[in-house]
Amino acid sequence: MVELLNMELATARQRVNRAELALEQAEELLEEQCGVAINLTLCDRVRVAQQRVAEARRRHRQIDPPSGT
């Protein structure tokens, strides 16, 4: 049971890290001067990446809730 929980926590941490990395990459691309159409696409990509980060963090908190001290 403990091994399964550890594996789920590791998977959740990886999911958060991948989502945060994708968000950082999209934001860096957005900072470059491209064109309006590309910037609109990148804005959408940033928004989706932000949603993925929030969802990954929510899942991680469900598996390992923070201590309330």
Query: pLDDT, tens digit, for every residue of 3-19?
Result: 888 898 899 999 999 99
pLDDT digits (tens, 9 = 90+) for 13-65: 999 999 999 999 988 888 887 777 788 888 888 999 999 999 999 998 888 88
Query: pTM for the complete prediction?
Result: 0.73
Burial class (CB in 10 A: 0-12, 13-18, 19+), 48: middle
Tokens for 37?
């159409």
